[in-house]
Chains A and B, each alone.
Chain A
Amino acid sequence: MTDERLEQIVGNLLRAGVVSAAAVVLTGGVWRLAVEGFAQPHYGHFRPDVLGVRSLGGLALPDAIILVGLLALIATPLARVVFTLAAFALRRDWMYVAITAIVLIVLLYSIGTSWL
């Protein structure tokens, strides 16, 4: 695989991820506003609704859909790193496989904290 081809695939991957995530967020958002548009916003005080991914089950459905979209958005750069790792491995570029793997481990650690 050439550098150019790799770059094109990464570009398409990023675009698809952002577009689909934004669409999911928007769907949940429109629903949420339709259901509770007249409620008062409560963002002035730090009382979080979401404490990690495990909060997903306890949310109202529109909020849960928005959160799924946000998770998809967060997963987009992660998918990019996984893909880059695979591409370097295909080229037997072991130094960059190792470099990319370190980045992947840091990302997985961070995302892992939100599941616990």
Chain B
Amino acid sequence: MNLLTFSGVVYAISALAGFLGALTGLGGGVVVTPALTLLLGVDLRFAMGASLVSVIATSSGAAAAYVKEGFSNIRVGMFLEIATTLGAVAGAHLVSAVPTSTLAVIFGLVLLYSAWASLHKMHEEQAACSDPLAARLRLDSSYPGPHGFIRYQVCRVKAGFGLMFGAGILSGLLGIGSGAMKVIAMDQVMRIPFKASTTTSNFMIGVTAAASAGVYLSRGYIEPGLAMPVIPMVSSANLSRELRLVFAGVVGLLAAEMIYNGVTGGLK
């Protein structure tokens, strides 16, 4: 397989991963890495690097829409990002110390857990609680509902913060967004309503992934040529129609060139 075909396949896989990620709420990253390593034999660290960068693109693209609609809680996000970024830097440093086979096993377990969590029912109801820390940090907020703004309180801030540190470690260790774990921490533990917790989680994923990205870059996990076909497709799911048309045009060109090469016997 030459580079052109390879990039075309990665392009298609990423498009599918982005679509699946958006559909299931798992995020594209957890799908991209297994697909690249299992189907195309890419080294796990390179796959994690490409996935990590794509996570930044997806989350920032989606966060742009949600932030504008007023669903995400910037204060909760900012406060918890202390935990996720510290965890992410620690996790990213751990990658070189953990054998690849162990990484693969951890990845599989997180994947299983994410799949299980995505089937879990989220809380719509607001539980009554009061956490003095939430009051001090002014975390309570509201989001737009069908009949005006719905107010909510934030519970068990310390436990949520601890879980977020764990989510950050996994994010850095595996090159994923850890979206499922972030939502669980906010939804199950801190009792933030579903709509606000998913969007706030999305808002945080980009910053968490950027915290790992610097370390990944210095360790050589991010290969430009491999990351290139992953990013536009994974991110375009959340972008404007015009831009998707541009990307579709490029895919069309790639397809045409591949067919031409196939017909003329240039592909090996």
Contact = CB atoms under 8 A, between A and B. Distances in A.
Interface of A: 3-4, 6-8, 10-12, 14-15, 17-19, 21-22, 25-26, 28-30, 32-33, 36-41, 43-46, 48-53, 59, 63-64, 66-67, 69-70, 73-78, 80-81, 84, 95-96, 99-100, 102-103, 106-107, 109-114, 116
B189 interface: no
Interface string B68-94: 101010110011011001101100100
Interface stretch (B24-32, B125-133, B218-226): B218-226
Interface stretch (B14-22, B109-117, B203-211): B203-211
A116 B218 contact: yes
Contacts of B197: none
Nearest to A48: B220
B250 A103 contact: no
B224 A50 contact: yes
Interface string B228-242: 110110011001100
Which bucket holds chain B's interface residue count?
Answer: 35 or more
B141 to A, nearest CB: 9
B104 to A, nearest CB: 14
A14 B68 CA distance: 11
Contacts of B81: 81, 103
A86 to B, nearest CB: 13
B232 A84 contact: no
Contacts of B89: 106, 109-110
Contacts of B266: 38
B61 A67 contact: no
B153 interface: no
Contacts of A99: 78-79, 82
A59 to B, nearest CB: 7
Nearest to B62: A14
Contacts of B64: 11-12, 14-15, 18
Nearest to A68: B224
Contact of B74 (A6, A12, A21, A28): A6
Contacts of A77: 56, 60, 206-207, 209-210
Given A14-B61, A51-B218, A96-B75, A110 B206 contact: no
Interface of B: 1-4, 6-7, 40-43, 45-46, 53, 56-57, 60-61, 63-68, 70, 72, 74-75, 78-79, 81-82, 85-86, 88-89, 92, 137, 206-207, 209-215, 217-229, 231-232, 235-236, 239-240, 243, 246-247, 250, 253-254, 257, 266
B213 A14 contact: no
A3 B77 CA distance: 14
B21 to A, nearest CB: 16
A67 to B, nearest CB: 5
Closest 9 A-B residue pairs measured CB to CB? A48-B220, A110-B214, A37-B4, A11-B68, A66-B224, A114-B217, A29-B228, A111-B214, A15-B64
Contact of A113 (B67, B82, B215): B215
B10 to A, nearest CB: 9
A110 B225 contact: no
A73 B224 contact: no
A96 B227 CA distance: 35
Nearest to A15: B64
Contacts of A4: 70
A73 B215 contact: no
A76 B224 contact: no
Given A74-B214, A111-B210, 20 more contacts: A7-B67, A7-B70, A14-B206, A15-B64, A26-B246, A26-B247, A40-B3, A41-B226, A46-B43, A49-B224, A51-B218, A51-B219, A73-B231, A80-B60, A99-B78, A103-B82, A106-B82, A106-B86, A113-B215, A114-B213
